[in-house]
Structure 1
Amino acid sequence: MNSVQNPAQVLLVLTTLPDHPSAEALAAELVAEHLAACITILPSAQSVYRWQNRIEQASETPLIIKTTAARYAQLEAALRARHPYTLPEIIALPVTQGLPDYLAWINRATLSEDTTC
């Protein structure tokens, strides 16, 4: 997502954190900075992955971040700067359908100084 085609495009951004307290702290910061409208913190999940040529397993806390394409670059930069992992999972998926009022709320909530949410 190097270029912003439609800045109002709603995105779901996925990431994982090593534990619930770090997920809560990061989520609060991102919402407070209007980089996300809402972040859903899921229960702990078990991840299996290859890292440095070894199969690893870890308990992680997944996050589902609701934002817009206009805020994605800043969100990604904030995640990279604050994330405890060397190579964090940051995957953005476009939302192609949804309740129009909810999608509009995401756009309003990610404006820098919006207070109408």
Structure 2
Amino acid sequence: MADYVIVSTAAESRETATELARSVVAAKLAASAQVTGPLVSVFWHEGRLGEGEEWQASFKTTGDRYAELEAHIIEHHPWANPEVSAVPLVSGSALYLEWIRRTVASGQV
């Protein structure tokens, strides 16, 4: 996995997405989180095409914290099978990337 990743999930409400963001950052599994929305989502669910409004939460963390972050999201998410996906953060300012690393590695800001 990449040194730094952006992990995302979606939730049915702003409140749920914000609570997930708050719990992840409080646990130092990500240095920061952003909640955006509402978004229109079109998806397959239980063999049917669905459409709904969702809120997306994205998290900045290190690749070595991904497994713990994924487990946390799945444990605290109200959906039985929530989206949890990661994309590599291939570049960023040195000070910003160091802040991410320091924050999630030691629990110190």
Distance 1:27 1:63 in 2: 7
More helix by share: 2
Distance 1:63 1:83 in 2: 12
Distance 2:56 2:86 in 1: 14
Match for residue 110 of structure 1?
104
Aligned-residue RMSD, C-alpha: 1.2
> Are the equivalent residues in 2 in contact too, given 1:33–1:112 (CA < 8 A)?
no
Structure 2 spans left out of the alignment, 5+ residues:
none
Match for residue 37 of structure 1?
31
Distance 1:68 1:48 in 2: 30
Distance 1:87 1:49 in 2: 13
Q: Tell me, what secondary structure is at the counterpart of 1:108?
A: helix
**Structure 2 residue corresponding to 1:13, chosen from 1, 7, 10:** 7
Match for residue 52 of structure 1?
46
Distance 1:112 1:56 in 2: 42
Structure 1 spans left out of the alignment, 5+ residues:
none
Match for residue 99 of structure 1?
93
The answer to whether structure 1 residue 75 and structure 2 residue 69 are counterparts is yes
Match for residue 79 of structure 2?
85
Distance 1:32 1:68 in 2: 16
Distance 2:105 2:69 in 1: 13
Distance 2:106 2:96 in 1: 18
- The two structures have a TM-score, normalised by structure 2, of 0.94
Aligned residue pair count: 109
Which segments of structure 1 move beyond 3 Å, counting only runs of 4 or more? Answer: none
Identity of aligned residues (%): 33
